[in-house]
Structure 1
Amino acid sequence: MSRTAPAPADLGIEVLSVPEGAPVELDLRLEAVMEGVLVTGTAKAGLEGECVRCLEPIREDLEVTFQELFVYDDIRDSEGAEEDDEVSMLQDDLLDLETVLRDAVVLALPFQPLCQDDCPGLCPECGVRLADEPDHTHEAAIDPRWAALTKLEQEPTD
């Protein structure tokens, strides 16, 4: 079964995520098993964010796979199981894929997304993007102990 659904809020990490309301293409396979329904699927969505080194925008596509067992309410009650937050449950024959999708997307994202693998980042002194100006340099910093001598050089002599 294939479906397209809007992305929920906060689907990703702070610097790289699926924009809220963006289409997420789901390709799902639902299987009835003794305990409930086994959901196996893939999700495709577009990511937006920024490079953590140079702050350039990043736009790429993401495809994740997931598998989750949704347990029937009545089977769980008959076994006398305690409440467990780790177990996904069917609620009135409906299943909520948001948590499963969120887990799959967040685990698939890079911890520190980069615009390119060898992104040099920004100049720590002036903030220029080093990928645009690879030969960018500054004069050597003056030792603060000798900084007072530079004033002598700049003063006019009589």
Structure 2
Amino acid sequence: MSEETPNPQRAKTRNPWLFDTHELNRRAGSSFHLHRELPVTTTLGVPEVIEVPQDSVVEVDLLLESVVEGVLVSGTASTVTRGQCSRCLDPVSGKAEVNVTELFAYPDSMTDETTESDEVSRIVDDWIDLEPLVRDALVLALPLVPLCSEDCRGLCSGCGMKWAELEPGHGHETIDPRWAALVQRLEETSGGDTASGSDR
């Protein structure tokens, strides 16, 4: 195993998510470790609910191994998240970390020839694109119902205040909607002489 050692002759201005596999040279068993901080150029997730913000970074710690059919990528990816609590709507922040494993098939390999284009990742001109692999894994790992805490009680449906900030015993008197019209009528006629139903 070796660390990443970029070849100056192949270095160029490029997408930082692309990785050059040229040095593996299709030698089965050769491998090296890749550790990078990669930029997030587009917000991932559901904005204002839970997301990986644009302009944040994803830290990847990966092992790339040359196998007969391609390059096997495995390791972890982690990044920061932000959003709002689904119960009380307070801002929340956290960290998402995922395990990733993916085979990137060599051109003209058996895997390349026997699988559809969307069934396996592929190496193109000795380059592999890590972004779809990491992006999809992170999005799937985001919570569907983000919470500021597991015991968050949310908001009072009567006044919209946070239950955590309200006095014990807080509540609102409610009237059965079937009686609401009668209560309104009584309030409108209370104190009126003609509303008593008495004869003149």
Q: TM-score, normalised by structure 2?
A: 0.69
Tell whether the 8 Å contact from 1:13 to 1:106 is kept in structure 2 after alignment.
no
**Match for residue 154 of structure 2 among 121, 125, 129:** 121
Q: How many positions carry a matched residue from both structures?
A: 155
- The residue identity in structure 1 corresponding to 2:68 is M
CA distance, structure 2, for counterparts of residue 4 and residue 109 of structure 1: 20
Tell whether the 8 Å contact from 1:8 to 1:98 is kept in structure 2 after alignment.
no
CA distance, structure 2, for counterparts of residue 104 and residue 8 of structure 1: 16
- The answer for the alignment partner of 2:164 in structure 1 is 131
CA distance, structure 2, for counterparts of residue 113 and residue 28 of structure 1: 28
Shifted more, 25-34 versus 67-76: the winner is 67-76
Query: Structure 1 residues 106, 134: closer, same or farther in 2, change over 3 A?
Result: farther
Instruction: Give the drift of 1:126.
Output: 2.2
- The answer for the alignment partner of 2:84 in structure 1 is 50
**Match for residue 189 of structure 2 among 147, 152, 157:** 152
Query: Structure 1 residues 82, 41: closer, same or farther in 2, change over 3 A?
Result: closer
Instruction: Give the drift of 1:156.
Output: 7.6
Instruction: Give the drift of 1:11.
Output: 1.9
Q: How does 1:24-39 map to 2 (within 5 A)?
A: 24-39=58-73
Shifted more, 29-38 versus 83-92: the winner is 83-92
Query: Structure 1 residues 75, 127: closer, same or farther in 2, change over 3 A?
Result: same
- The answer for the alignment partner of 1:91 in structure 2 is 124
CA distance, structure 2, for counterparts of residue 11 and residue 95 of structure 1: 21
Q: Does 1:61 align with 2:95?
A: yes
Tell whether the 8 Å contact from 1:64 to 1:108 is kept in structure 2 after alignment.
yes
Q: Does 1:74 align with 2:108?
A: yes
Q: CA RMSD in A?
A: 2.2
* SS class of match (2:109): helix
CA distance, structure 1, for counterparts of residue 192 and residue 95 of structure 2: 62
CA distance, structure 2, for counterparts of residue 80 and residue 44 of structure 1: 33
- The answer for the alignment partner of 2:44 in structure 1 is 11
Structure 2: give runs of 5+ residues left out of the alignment: 1-33, 194-200
CA distance, structure 2, for counterparts of residue 28 and residue 82 of structure 1: 25
- The answer for the alignment partner of 1:101 in structure 2 is 134
Instruction: Give the drift of 1:105.
Output: 1.1
State the Cα deviation string for residues 78-123 of structure 1 (Å, max 9, x = none): x743533021111111111222112211222221111111211112
State the Cα deviation string for residues 44-66 of structure 1 (Å, max 9, x = none): 11100011111110111121111
